[in-house]
């Protein structure tokens, strides 16, 4: 099992150690040393060409504030917390409907978005690319700028309307580390209960 290590902190300390105490005006770095000052990308853990999370995320939270049949304004929020010790950024998610009597209700795939934080406490937007396999009822979500360990990220899926039938709907979620041949981590199921409205 191998892990790429950043060189910046060690090399910079070795170079600057003898210069401690000098006036800042006397310290000039060669342009060749500037790459050492740049932050290193997250070093993913690899084994035989496959990328893994060292500490994978282990659950997903699913929230919707519109839970009756046919509602047109529903939004499904899937939230994932990344462990600070993951040793790999989040490169992608898959979300697949595995339970629920209505397997025809459509999604507005172009309205998919992602952000840091949780619903109603949104942080910065996160770029996300979404595709939806209608037959498999499966979303594939790719993050062009992988999400760093220690971050909480939420993806919002937008159905054109809620399912037509009341039931418990379940979505299996897997997380993929950024890197070559990523090994997925199963996060379990997001559960969504859709209700028939009360009629008086």
Position of tokens 């070559």?
A: 180
In this structure, the number of other CB atoms found within 10 A of the CB of residue 150 comes to: 12
Distance between CA atoms of residues 92 and 82, nearest Å: 12
* H-state helical runs in the chain: 8-16
Q: Are 176 and 57 in contact (CB under 8 A)?
A: no
Block mean pLDDT (10 aa), the chain, length 200: 36 38 37 34 65 95 97 97 96 98 97 98 97 98 98 98 98 97 97 88
- Concatenate the DSSP letters of all residues of 163-178 into one string: -SS-EEEEEEEEEEES
| Residue 36 pLDDT | 30
Distance between CA atoms of residues 197 and 200, nearest Å: 10
Name which of 65, 42, 41, 64 is nearest 55 in CA terms: 42
| Residue 27 pLDDT | 34
- Supply the CATH classification number for the domain 53-194: 2.60.40.1290
| Residue 49 pLDDT | 80
Sequence ranges of the domains in the chain: 2-40, 53-194
If you ran DSSP here, which 8-state letter would residue 79 be given? E
């Amino acid at each position: 099992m191998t892990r790429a290590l950043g060189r910046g902190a060690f090399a910079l300390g070795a170079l600057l150690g003898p210069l401690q105490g000098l006036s800042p005006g006397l310290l000039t770095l060669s342009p060749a040393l500037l790459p050492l000052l740049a932050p290193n990308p997250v070093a993913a853990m690899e084994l035989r060409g496959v990328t893994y999370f060292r500490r994978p995320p282990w659950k997903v939270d699913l929230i919707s504030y519109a839970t009756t049949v046919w509602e047109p304004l529903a939004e499904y929020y899937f939230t994932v917390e990344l462990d600070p010790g993951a040793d790999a950024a989040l490169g992608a998610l898959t979300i697949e409907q595995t339970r629920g009597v209505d397997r025809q209700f459509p999604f507005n795939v172009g309205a998919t978005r992602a952000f840091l934080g949780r619903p109603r406490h949104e942080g910065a937007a996160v770029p996300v690319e979404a595709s939806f396999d209608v037959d498999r009822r499966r979303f594939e979500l790719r993050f062009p700028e992988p999400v760093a360990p220690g971050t909480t990220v939420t993806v919002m899926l937008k159905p054109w309307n809620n399912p037509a039938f009341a039931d418990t709907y379940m979505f299996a979620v897997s997380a993929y580390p950024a890197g070559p041949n990523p090994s997925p981590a199963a996060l379990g199921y997001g559960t969504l209960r859709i209700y028939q409205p009360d009629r008086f």
